[in-house]
């Protein structure tokens, strides 16, 4: 296999070796259904309970507040739709932000189609939210507010502690998509009174296909998926035992390693950022106050997909906010919401590191990045116009 320098961890992460080890028995001998009466199945249940405690500990929450789901997207959908069901039926107003992940944005569009009023709060050039604007947007008919803990494209971290205070003071449900934050930065739900929180396994070195939803004690969460009584009647479907056990172990690892990982990633991210800005002119970073692992850089006069293709030939994996790489023809909605001009949005690249990223890998990227950008600038009609 050719050399791979994997810098796309916000898209997905490697399953930690310890996590894989922990999962193996459940993919081989311990395959029973935890709801079965026989002990062969039933004794698998205690491993699920353990995983639940591990995830709860990472979030500083109670185990009974954790529901296992199939993905972060499922958790987001369940939470928002659940909150609407719980709220007064007269409350037909939902507030989200313009930079949410599609799993929240699309729920918003769906609700708009059903006659709900949906406010999409704008962000400023650095990607930050105006808290007074949020406060003013909440009305008597607001059912739920959803603001992400950290943005997947830019890494911008939102002040959820302050935000939830505003929302709860008005008696409105608050949900946060914390998919990119959990495992990277401390998320302490004993201090931050959110009602709902979504997380995704494969963003923190657990396998794909498992996520979790935190629902604060006292909230009677209506099931999003109906059927059997799994997850205390809140999410039907035979448990993805191996995935759940994996998520639990990943949560435990995250707890143990978070400070060290964050310091390691931040150091390499800084090196990458400084290096790129120094060697590639007309480049700039998008977003301030970010996760330790995420770097979103725009390169003027060149386009994102072509940068990624050249990086791909070098074995470097990253992603872009350009139109050509999105499914649609518009560049990233996050960068547009931040007012990044088109000339910069199309040429944006996101590098997202992990605990496994090495300094050699960063040096390799720094060695090749200027050549890639220079080459594409040679090809571009706009470079010469300015010159």
Partner 1 sequence: MWNYTNKVMEHFRNPKNVGYIKDPHGVGEVGSMACGDALKLMIKLDDQERIVDAKFQTFGCGSAIATSSVLTEMIKGKTLEEAEKITNQDIVDYLGGLPEQKMHCSVLGREALEAAIENYRNGTTGKRELEGHVVCVCFGVTENKIRSAIQSNGLTTVEQVTNYTKAGGGCGGCIPEIDEILAEMNGKKPSKKKHARAAKPQPKKLNTLEKIRLIEKTIEEDLRPELKKHGGDLELVDVDGNNVIVKLLGSCTECGISDFTLKTLIEPKLRQRVSSELAVMEA
**Which residues are catalytically annotated?**
324
- 8 A C-beta contact, residue 188 and residue 321: no
Q: Of 242 and 310, which has the nearer Cβ to partner 1?
A: 310
Q: Which CB atom, from 40 or from 382, has the smaller least distance to partner 1?
A: 382
CB of 273 to partner 1, least distance (A): 23
Question: Least CB distance from residue 240 to partner 1, whole Å?
Answer: 27
Task: State the angle between helix axes of 45-59 and 241-279 in degrees (0 to 180), rounded to the nearest 10.
Answer: 30
Residue whose CB is less far from partner 1, 48 or 337:
337
SS in 3 state form for the chain? CCCCEECECCCCCCCCHHHHHHHHHHHCCCCCCCCCCCHHHHCCHHHHHHHHHHHHHHHCCCHHHEEEECCHHHHHHHHHHHHHHHCCCCCCEEEEECCCCHHHHHHHHHHHHCCCEEEEECECCCCCECHHHHHHHCCCCEEEEECCCECCCCCEECCHHHHHHHHHHCCCEEEEECCCCECCECCCCCCCCCCEEEEEHHHCCCCCCCEEEEECCCCCCCCCCCCCCCHHHCCCCCCCHHHHHHHHHHHHHHHHHHHHHHHHHHHHHHHHHHHHHHHCCCEEECCCCECCCEEEEEECCCCHHHHHHHHHHCCEECEECCHHHCCCCCCCHHHHHCCCCHHHHCCEEEEECCCCCCHHHHHHHHHHHHHHHHHHHHHCHHHHHHC
What phi and psi, each to the nearest 5 degrees, are found at residue 369? -55, -50
CA dist., res. 29 & res. 149, Å (int): 39
Query: At closest approach, how far in Å is the CB of 381 from partner 1?
Result: 4
Residue 286 and residue 154 in contact, taking contact as beta carbons nearer than 8 Å = yes
Quick one: which of 16, 46, 14 has its CA closest to 30?
46
For partner 1, which is the closer residue by CB, 1 or 329? 329
* Cβ closest to partner 1, residue 149 vs residue 299: 299
Give per-residue burial for 115-148: e unless 16+ CB within 10 Å, then b.
Answer: ebebbbbebeeebbbeeeebeeebeeebbbbbbb
Q: Rounded to the nearest whole angstrom, what is the least distance from the CB of residue 374 to partner 1 in the complex? A: 13
Q: How far is the CB of 301 from partner 1 (least distance, A)?
A: 7
Provide the minimum distance between the beta carbon of 92 and partner 1 in the complex, in angstroms, as a whole number: 22
Q: 70 or 331: whose CB is closer to partner 1? A: 331
CB of 119 vs partner 1, minimal distance in Å: 14
Nearer to partner 1, 262 or 337 (CB): 337
Nearer to partner 1, 185 or 314 (CB): 314
Residues that bind partner 1 (CB under 8 A): 122, 125, 301-306, 309, 313, 322-325, 328-331, 336-339, 341-343, 346, 378-382, 384
CB of 347 to partner 1, least distance (A): 9
């Amino acid at each position: 296999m050719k050399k791979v320098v994997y810098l796309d961890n916000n898209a997905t992460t490697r399953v930690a070796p310890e996590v894989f080890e922990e999962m193996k028995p459940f993919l081989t001998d311990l395959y029973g259904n935890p709801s079965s009466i026989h002990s062969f199945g039933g004794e698998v249940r205690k491993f699920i309970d353990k995983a639940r405690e591990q995830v709860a500990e990472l979030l500083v929450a109670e185990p009974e507040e954790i529901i296992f789901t199939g993905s972060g997207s499922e958790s987001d959908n369940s939470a928002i739709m659940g909150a609407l069901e719980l709220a007064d039926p007269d409350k037909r107003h939902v507030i989200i932000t313009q930079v949410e992940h599609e799993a929240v944005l699309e729920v918003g569009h769906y609700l708009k189609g059903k006659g709900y009023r949906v406010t999409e709060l704008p962000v400023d050039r650095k990607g930050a939210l105006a808290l007074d604007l949020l406060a003013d947007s909440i009305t008597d008919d607001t059912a739920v507010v959803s603001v992400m803990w950290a943005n997947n494209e830019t890494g911008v971290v939102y002040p959820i502690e302050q935000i939830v205070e505003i929302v709860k003071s008005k008696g409105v449900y608050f949900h946060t998509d914390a998919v990119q934050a959990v495992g990277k930065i401390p998320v302490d739900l004993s201090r931050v009174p959110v009602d709902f929180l979504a997380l995704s396994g494969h963003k923190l070195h657990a396998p794909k296909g498992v996520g979790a939803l935190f629902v604060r004690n006292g909230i009677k969460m209506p099931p999003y998926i109906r059927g059997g009584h799994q997850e205390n009647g809140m999410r039907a479907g035979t448990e993805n035992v191996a995935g759940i056990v994996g998520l639990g172990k990943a949560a435990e690892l995250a707890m143990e390693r978070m400070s060290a990982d964050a310091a390691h990633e931040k150091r390499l991210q800084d090196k990458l950022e400084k290096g790129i800005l120094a060697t590639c002119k007309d480049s700039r970073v998008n977003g301030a106050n970010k996760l330790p692992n995420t770097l979103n850089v725009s390169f003027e006069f060149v386009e994102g997909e072509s940068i990624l293709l050249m990086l791909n030939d070098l074995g470097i994996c990253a992603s872009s906010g350009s139109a050509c790489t999105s499914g649609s023809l518009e560049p990233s909605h996050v960068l547009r919401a931040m007012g990044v001009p088109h000339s910069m949005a199309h040429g944006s690249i996101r590098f997202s590191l992990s605990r496994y990223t090495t300094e050699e890998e960063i040096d390799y990227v720094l060695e090749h990045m200027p050549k890639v950008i220079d080459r594409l600038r040679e090809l571009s009609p706009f470079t010469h116009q300015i010159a």
